[in-house]
Amino acid sequence: MNCLKIIYLCFCPPVNPTFEECLEGQYLFEAAQLLIDREKHLFGELTEADALKAHEEAVKKLAADYEALEMHIKQTVQQSLSLGREEEVSALISAVKAINLEEEQDQLWRQRCRTPRAWRPKKWKEHHDKVLHELVYSRLENPSSPTGDQENQSSIQADIQSMGRQLKEDMEWVVEVVKNCYPPEMDICNFYARQYHQTFSARLRKIADFVLDDKDCSFLLRWVKEFYPGILEKPELASNINTEALGNLLPDELLKPLEEQYLSKQQSDLMIYIDRVLDEAKKEWDQGKEPTRDDGCYVSPVAYDVIQVELLQQLDIKEAEIDAFIKMY
């Protein structure tokens, strides 16, 4: 946080800058202050009729400047997840301050009970939230993260994994960098977490609506039950996000059929494994090699192995561990 304060001080605006100079230098908070001062001058003391008549050109210029400032703020907020230079970090800090300043002005206009101008209320906080919602959607719709072992993955698996990695990287960026550009009361980390959770959930719901093969089903379940919760449990994220408030990625009506499909596949694999082991034991017995005895009774390790696999299924452990266990035979 101290570093960001230093950065911001290093990019202080010149003394008595014009509105255009503020825009050019990305001093968006100062630009907002200038426009608010002009707005107060135009409408503070005069009646509305006098103001519109005597300052028609000034009003038009003010409205145009507000549009220009809003566009600069929107562009700055859109770059929140790709801040590459100190100037861009400073610009986001300034944009957030400008948004909050305009929110205060909207409230003042409402309290005055006067007919608002065409640009009041500005609702810049509402627009800010919409921009970030669209930003998060575009990040998960077109993730930039590599998908790893994509050659051995189905298109569904690659899609889920690339979205998950993008989510992880972006949320780490939010808590490391973006968080420091916002005041604590805006709770920006939880805002981003909700946007990513809701967007990721919506994408996974669409995938879950398809008839998935067993591998895709298992992969989806692992992300829902293991990988995604694991991301949120990382210390740097868990300390900034209310994970309990996010809820589940998939509703029960979609999750239960996937779980049933997964367990059915594991049961089928188990039966294949049992048949394979019994066939091997029969061959050995046919060749004259009797099973080992314990207290005078024939015994086989198959029963112990089957019990272990059943327990693994009941505990819903990782598919990879079950597969590795079965492939031993």
The confidence band for 309, taking pLDDT boundaries of 50, 70 and 90, is low
Predicted confidence band of residue 267 (pLDDT cuts 50, 70, 90)? confident
| 146: number of Cβ within 10 Å | 10
Q: Which of 61, 63, 191 is nearest to 126 (CA)?
A: 191
**Tokens in use for 48?**
């509305």
Pick 189 or 64 by higher pLDDT: 189
pLDDT band at residue 320 using 50, 70 and 90 as cut-offs: very low
Query: Which segment of 49-53, 56-60, 243-247, 317-321 scores lowest on mean pLDDT?
Result: 317-321
Q: How far apart are CA 40 and CA 34, in angstroms?
A: 10
At 83 the three-state DSSP class reads coil
* Dihedral class, residue 316 (left if φ above 0, else alpha if ψ from -120 to 50, else beta): left
pLDDT digits 0-9 by tens, 64-102? 898 999 999 999 999 999 988 888 999 999 999 999 999
Q: Which residue in 222, 223, 236, 159 sits closest to 197, CA to CA? A: 223
Residues 281, 289: Cα–Cα separation, whole Å: 9
User: If you search the block for the tokens 């200038």, which residue do you land on?
Assistant: 34
pLDDT at 314: 56
How many CB atoms are located within 10 Å of the residue 303 CB? Answer: 10
Helix (H, G, I), strand (E, B) or coil at 179: helix
In whole angstroms, what is the distance from residue 171 CA to residue 178 CA?
9
Phi, psi of 221 (to 5 degrees): -60, -40
Q: State the Cα–Cα distance between residues 77 and 131, nearest whole angstrom.
A: 7
Whether residue 231 is predicted with pLDDT greater than 80 in this model: the reply is yes
In degrees to the nearest 10, what's the CA dihedral of 301, 304, 307, 309? -60
Q: Please provide the average confidence, as pLDDT, over all residues in the chain.
A: 82
Please determine, for residue 119, whether its predicted confidence score (pLDDT) is greater than 80: no
pLDDT band at 54 (very low <50, low <70, confident <90, very high): low
- Lowest model confidence (mean pLDDT) among 13-27, 67-81, 118-132, 221-235: 13-27
Domain ranges, ordered by start, for the chain: 2-122, 137-145+152-250, 258-327
Asked whether the beta carbons of 188 and 196 are under 8 A apart, the reply is no
Are 199 and 244 in contact by the 8 Å Cβ rule? The answer is no
Distance CA 275, CA 299 (A): 17
At 115 the pLDDT is: 64
Tokens of 247: 């809820």
DSSP state of 287: T
